[in-house]
């Protein structure tokens, strides 16, 4: 695989970063970046706007959290099972949702996500409003202590890289080419003999599983899963991250998640603490009105213009 200079620089930066910036914040950014990337796989490459991705983030988190607290298994196994559960849910939801398009697709995903949200609200194992708290981080493979923030960060980085690599592979495979064809012109893809809804379904499953992976990892980083993760606000937040970063770009979700999470983090502590939501809303409006391509999209345009 050819590795570009930019990727290499970013990789080195990611390895050094925890010595400069607080590692838990970095781990949070990576979790959300993976979540946004999973969402971007659908919106950016298939053209499907899912408004229910929080369901998969929450499912991954709850399953992993429950397993870590009750089953006494190692974290990598718990994450794997959490991811699997989210993927399974994605298979069911995807099967139903891909039957519709456009706004109806968004509404179906939202409705299905609300269903599972209600289950998590009522089911005793989730702790309802209080969430699942005090999830142990455990020991990776039974011997690497994850309660150390640095170890945790590198573990999250590895998961994140794996997720990004998987998305990269998906996009650049023949399967990914078909997805893009569907995005550009669905009737033509159908006329070429592709079973469009099956392609969409598989893409939905991959996206759901990766969102679950992000949720599972996040539950270990914060040692907590709460209704926030499964709430439709979260589904909206991931749309925001992806749009701010740049839809359909590889690094867009990473930049978007980084921007939003850092902003939430720093604004919450400062003088502007009361205005977090207003500022985020304003940024969203500005982005949609002025930078349609998001930060990364605009940056790429700028590079192209200078080159040409």
Partner 1 sequence: MKALTNTVAAVALAATAASPALANISDDKIKIGVLADMGGVYSDLCGPGCVTALEMAAEDVGGKVLGAPIEIISADDQLKADVGSAIVRKWVENEQVDAVGGLVSSAVVGAATKVLTDAKKIAMISTAASNAFTTSACSPYNVHWTYNVTAMANGTVKPMVAAGKKKWFFITADYAFGHALESVATEVIEANGGEVVGVVRAPLATTDFSSYVLQAQASGADVVALANAGADTVNSLKAATEFGLTEMVDVAGLLVFTPAAQAMDPDTAGGMRLTTGFYWDYDDQTRQWSERFLERTGTLPAMGHAGAYSMAMHYFRAIEAAGTDDSDAVMAKMRELKPEDFFARNAYLRADGRMVHDMYYAEIKPAAERSGDNDIFRILSVIPGDEAFAPMLPECNFN
* Contact range with partner 1 by CB under 8 A, out of 23-31, 106-114, 168-176, 209-217: 23-31
Answer yes or no whether residue 237 interacts with partner 1 by CB under 8 A.
no
Answer yes or no whether residue 117 interacts with partner 1 by CB under 8 A.
no
Q: Which two tokens stand for residue 127?
A: 């702790």
Q: Least CB distance from residue 307 to partner 1, whole Å?
A: 40
DSSP label at residue 127:
T
Answer yes or no whether residue 28 interacts with partner 1 by CB under 8 A.
yes
Sign of CA dihedral 207, 245, 34, 65: negative
Q: Least CB distance from residue 260 to partner 1, whole Å?
A: 12
**Among positions 265, 284, 291, 299, the unique one binding partner 1 when judged by CB under 8 A:** 265
Answer yes or no whether residue 274 interacts with partner 1 by CB under 8 A.
yes
Nearer to partner 1, 24 or 73 (CB): 24
Residue 169, helix vs strand vs coil: helix
Q: Least CB distance from residue 226 to partner 1, whole Å?
A: 4
Q: Least CB distance from residue 130 to partner 1, whole Å?
A: 5
Question: For residue 90, what are the contacts with CB-CB under 8 A and spacing of at least 6?
Answer: 56, 204, 205, 207, 208, 209, 211, 212
Query: Which residue in 93, 34, 86, 88 sits closest to 238, CA to CA?
Result: 34
b/e map of 140-166 (b: 16 or more CB within 10 Å)? Answer: beeebebeebebbbbbbbebbeebbeb
| CA angle, 285 then 287 then 290, to 5° | 100
Sign of CA dihedral 59, 63, 68, 70: positive
Q: Least CB distance from residue 146 to partner 1, whole Å?
A: 14
Answer yes or no whether residue 134 interacts with partner 1 by CB under 8 A.
yes
End-to-end CA distance of the chain: 28
| C-alpha span between 140 and 147 (Å, rounded) | 10
Residue 51, helix vs strand vs coil: coil
Q: Which two tokens stand for residue 4?
A: 């570009």
Q: Least CB distance from residue 122 to partner 1, whole Å?
A: 8
Q: Least CB distance from residue 22 to partner 1, whole Å?
A: 6
**Among positions 174, 187, 193, 269, the unique one binding partner 1 when judged by CB under 8 A:** 269
Answer yes or no whether residue 70 interacts with partner 1 by CB under 8 A.
no
* Contact range with partner 1 by CB under 8 A, out of 12-20, 106-114, 273-281, 293-301: 273-281
Answer yes or no whether residue 229 interacts with partner 1 by CB under 8 A.
yes
| C-alpha span between 72 and 93 (Å, rounded) | 30
Answer yes or no whether residue 224 interacts with partner 1 by CB under 8 A.
yes
Q: Which residues bind partner 1 (CB under 8 A)?
A: 22, 24-25, 28, 121, 127-131, 133-134, 149, 218, 222-224, 226-229, 264-265, 267-269, 273-277
């Amino acid at each position: 695989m050819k590795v570009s200079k930019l990727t290499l620089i970013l990789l080195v930066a990611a390895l050094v970063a925890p010595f400069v910036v607080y590692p838990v914040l970095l781990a949070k950014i990576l979790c959300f970046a993976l979540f946004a990337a999973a969402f971007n796989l659908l919106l950016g490459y298939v053209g499907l706007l899912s408004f229910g991705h929080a369901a998969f983030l929450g499912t991954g988190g709850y399953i992993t959290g429950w397993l870590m607290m009750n089953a006494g298994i190692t974290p990598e196994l718990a994450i794997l099972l959490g991811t699997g559960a989210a993927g399974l849910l994605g298979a069911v939801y995807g099967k139903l949702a891909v039957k519709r398009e456009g706004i109806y697709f968004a509404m179906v995903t939202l409705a299905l996500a609300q269903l599972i949200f209600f289950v998590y609200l009522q089911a005793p194992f989730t702790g309802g409003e209080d969430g699942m708290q005090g999830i142990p981080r455990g020991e990776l493979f039974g011997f690497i202590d994850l309660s150390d923030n640095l170890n945790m960060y590198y573990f999250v980085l590895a998961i994140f890289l794996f997720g990004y690599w998987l998305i990269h592979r998906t996009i650049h495979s023949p399967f990914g080419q078909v997805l893009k064809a569907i995005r550009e012109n669905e009737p033509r893809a159908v006329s070429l003999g592709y079973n469009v809804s099956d392609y969409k379904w598989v893409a939905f499953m991959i996206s759901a599983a990766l969102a679950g992976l992000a949720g599972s990892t996040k539950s270990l980083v914060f040692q907590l899963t709460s209704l926030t993760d499964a709430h439709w606000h979260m589904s909206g937040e991931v749309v925001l991250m992806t749009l701010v970063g740049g839809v359909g770009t590889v690094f867009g979700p990473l930049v978007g998640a980084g921007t939003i999470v850092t902003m939430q983090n720093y604004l919450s502590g400062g003088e502007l603490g009361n205005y977090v939501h207003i500022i985020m809303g304003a940024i969203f409006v500005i982005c949609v009105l002025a930078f349609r391509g998001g930060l990364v999209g605009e940056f790429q345009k700028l590079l192209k213009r200078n080159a040409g």
